[in-house]
Structure 1
């Protein structure tokens, strides 16, 4: 009876397992592997360093979705109640009185604050999207923990529709207002730029109108949509459907739309949970002063850098085609908010940053904010620019600054990684060539060694090349069996601790096909040695 009850209440959230198929046709054996228990492929390490507690969080999972699909696989099975809800589902829905959300099932999960349940069987191979993320919390651990528990689940399960976009627009304009009121008036412009669908749109755009009918009959007004109606969002979905029907929107654009909506939806969830949780704390405080319980109200935020990868080309007889294999071409998408960072090590052992910190000194951020919040960018006593008292101009949470332009909209960049010969062949294909150009997909020549995701507790103390060299040197010194990504991540955080880092430090190392094939060269070895000596003498 007890076992049946557990089975009934279990619900699939996300998976951390993948299925590895045997390449031997005579003995077709499948292995089910937990992603977190394969240190040779993925490594992670996090430390509080010199802080009293650690606000960093991280996550890794295997998503069950088609990158080109608008609608997600419905994962909701069994009961919709969670025993550890901090407040009832009814209160959450009451907070959205008047809203009929297209993603109502996900909205009902707002109050869940526990670690997601992980499915033990991986998705089918053609749906395998690997995701990794690091979350650097501030003002408490509530926001970074919430992202760990919900972000990838939302990206996997969110349904993309006209109503879903309108729901988002309505929430941010009415509940947050300020910056978001202007944002809502140009939602069409925002969406087509974020997904890099502007090339497809602009091909159909005349001086003031977008053609929505292939027939060249200018007497029929229905053949055109006014450009301003599209920019304001009134005819946004009409244009999106037109591009879908004409195969002008593919997985290159649709997956980015999924990421963009998933990030904003998760922020919506957290802000709602934070508001309702604080209401609960205020009303539950006893009035008798001698018996009063002091509650710390939730007022936290978090930065986030995530990377997602899935195969786009592989050899015909490849039964796995995972991103870390030799003969596979994969798409790597980086979604970035704040000052956590993604770094890739190429086949020569050189570090390349895949993100730019969202600080007020960032020209893109300064331009975005000055249009709405002129005069709020200032310099502190250390000479660093701040947006009011915020170091980051993009983050999750931070409700008190949401209306003046703090946003969780991710800056998205994408790359081709994998076998160099296959990448060149993939790029030569005429259809692929246009998609790669329209979406500004870059590459580093193939045979990349690994990707690193780190919090600013690492990057404040180490350069990108130092981080990469620490991981490479650890492998070179320990050998193939012991010098794995897990030990490399530990080495990076350990070095930060040794040289006197003063912030939480988290490092994720994701193995790629060129792992261990880099030249035996430590470009920053002498520099790191000097830093270690300086630290020792200054103590």
Structure 2
């Protein structure tokens, strides 16, 4: 059985300043900070950190330290695995042989990470999650499962979920699909973090979007006519897409709070009830945690707090969708999904769109760490219909100004 890869502790990663390309060389990973685009004269490289390709706005608010982080890269995954994922999720027979070998492996990864109890786990995710996602192997599942069971409590009854076929003896020889790879990777993060005492009381929520173009000839995500979207999610960071027709928000995540329907069913079935309402009327699991799914917070794992992601997928006709948005709860706790997508509409570029979202949340009094990421799709700049939340936003702005004046008096 293969031994799990040993990695430095999260605290050591928080102190590192190496670039992702250096990590790539050290590990032999194939992920990049650019996306390849096919032209009549060959491939060109478009940097993901261009404000016209992926827009990011990030601020610590009134907090003394930053616990929000994010990451994006282009992964190189097995085309047969991607083919299996597309077939299982959408019933589509995608043929990777119709595009070049390099482009058939190309998947763009975008993640937002919201730390709590410190920044160690969210910084670890920023530096490592994309690399782990690319390098995770089915052969590590049996040993990883043994470690998961050793957490005790809730996980003594854990049967593996989508990992179950690789736990049997002999294990399955099937390829991983993207849901299984995401689940394996999120659990692997907790295993890696378990060597650092910091991770007992420090954690992070995470939402990851994977964009895989199905076009032939190959096209990048921002112009793809047929795009497979996979979202792996733990906690209350959020992912949504904005439609061209009417500019409506389509959520790809649900907050994993203890009183949410999916989570309350899961936890009551396995753990009974440990839901406590605090003095502000907020429900907290074990009287301490807002989120019942997260990475890190290892001392709570045996009580049902899981890193197992909820995975949702959607096959996009690219020209019907304007952009994808990822936000931390420093924004989603202030703004509705509809307000978030309306703020991004008609922006000249994704960076400006992300900044508009962030700035407005802070104008309304947001004090938390906050992150907004805007990823353009083929319908960028083509939204039809009125801005539905414009009047509401103006009213909220006036109210916020009045409240601020009263506070200063």
Residues 92-122 of structure 1 show CA distances to partners (whole Å, capped at 9, x for unaligned) of xxxxxxxxxxxxxxxxxxxxxxxxxxxxxx9
In the alignment, does 2:219 pair up with 1:321? Answer: yes
* C-alpha contact 2:70 2:113 (8 A) present in aligned 1: yes
Q: Which whole-Å CA distance do the structure 1 matches of 2:303 and 2:58 have between them?
A: 32
CA deviation digits over 1:146-172, x for unaligned, max 9? 0111111111011113xx221111112
TM-superposed deviation, 1:268 = 1.0
SS of the residue corresponding to residue 371 of structure 1 reads helix
Hey, what's the Cα distance between the residues in 2 that align with 1:67 and 1:503? Answer: 40
Q: Structure 1 pair 48/29, CA: closer, same or farther in 2 (3 Å)? A: same
Is 1:32 matched with 2:45?
Answer: yes
- Residue in 1 that maps onto 2:184: 261
Name the residue aligned to 2:127: 149
Structure 2 match to 1:299 = 201
The alignment of Structure 1 onto Structure 2 pairs a total of residues equal to: 363
- Identify the residue that residue 154 of structure 2 maps to in structure 1: 179
Q: What is the correspondence of 1:328-407 to structure 2 with a 5 Å cutoff? A: 328-348=225-245, 349-388=247-286, 389-407=288-306
The equivalent residue for 1:197 is none
Q: Given the alignment of the two structures, is residue 234 of structure 1 paired with residue 168 of structure 2, yes or no? A: yes
Matched residue SS, 2:177: helix
Q: Does 2:409 correspond to 1:512?
A: no
**1:522, distance to aligned residue in structure 2 (A):** 1.0
In 2, Cα distance between the equivalents of 1:136 and 1:521? 32
Deviation of 1:123 after TM superposition, in Å, equals 8.5
The C-alpha deviation readout for 1:443-484, integer Å capped at 9, x for no partner, is xxx6211000000010110000100010004x2xxxxxxx10
Q: Give the drift of 1:67.
A: 4.9
Distance 1:127 1:499 in 2: 43
Task: Measure, in 2, the Cα distance between the counterparts of 1:260 and 1:8.
Answer: 22
* TM-score, length of structure 1 as denominator length: 0.64
Q: Residues 365 and 298 from structure 1, CA distance in 2 versus in 1: closer, same or farther, beyond 3 angstroms? A: closer
SS in 2 for 1:136: strand
Aligned to 1:226: none
2:64 matches 1:52: yes
Q: Is the 8 A contact 2:267 2:273 kept in 1?
A: no
**Structure 1 residue 192: deviation in Å?**
6.5
Asked whether the equivalents of residues 64 and 123 of structure 1 are also in contact (C-alpha less than 8 Å), the reply is: no
Contact 2:141–2:167 (8 Å) recurs in 1: no
Unpaired runs of 5+ in structure 2? 1-21, 83-99, 405-409
In 2, distance between residues paired with 1:171 and 1:379?
32
Q: Quick check: which has more Rg, 1 or 2?
A: 1
**Aligned-residue offset at 1:7:** 12
**Could you tell me how far apart the structure 2 residues matched to 1:516 and 1:236 are?**
52
Q: Which residue of 1 aligns with 2:394?
A: 529
Match of 2:114 in 1: 136
Question: Does structure 2 retain, via aligned residues, the 8 Å contact 1:16–1:62?
Answer: yes
Change (3 A) 1:405 1:236: farther
Q: Which stretch has the larger CA shift, 134-143 or 298-307?
A: 298-307
Distance 1:30 1:336 in 2: 32
**What are the equivalent positions in structure 2 for 1:53-202 lying under 5 Å apart?**
53-69=65-81, 124-161=102-139, 164-174=140-150, 176-183=151-158, 186-187=159-160, 190-191=161-162
- 2:34 is matched with which residue: 3, 11, 17? 17
Paired with 1:371 and 1:416, the residues of 2 have a C-alpha distance of 32
SS in 2 for 1:372: helix
**Cα pair distance change 1:150/1:171, threshold 3 Å:** same
2:62 is paired with a residue whose SS is: coil
What's the C-alpha RMSD, in Å, of the aligned pairs?
2.5
Contact 1:142–1:298 at 8 Å: present in 2 too?
Answer: no
Q: CA deviation at 1:538?
A: 1.4
User: For 1:146 and 1:516, how far apart are their aligned partners in 2?
Assistant: 35
What secondary structure sits across from 2:49 in the alignment? helix
* Counterpart secondary structure, 1:36: coil
Q: 1:123 to 1:361 in 2, by over 3 A?
A: farther
Structure 1 residue 517, shift from structure 2 partner: 0.7
Q: CA shift at 1:9, angstroms?
A: 7.3
Does 2:361 align with 1:496?
yes
Partner residue in 2 for 1:270: 193
TM-score (norm 2): 0.83
Residues 386-427 of structure 1, C-alpha deviation per residue, up to 9 Å, x if partnerless? 1011000000000221111111100000000135xxxxxxxx
What is the CA–CA distance in structure 2 between the aligned matches of 1:263 and 1:538, rounded to whole Å? 42
Give the CA deviation at 1:191.
Answer: 2.0
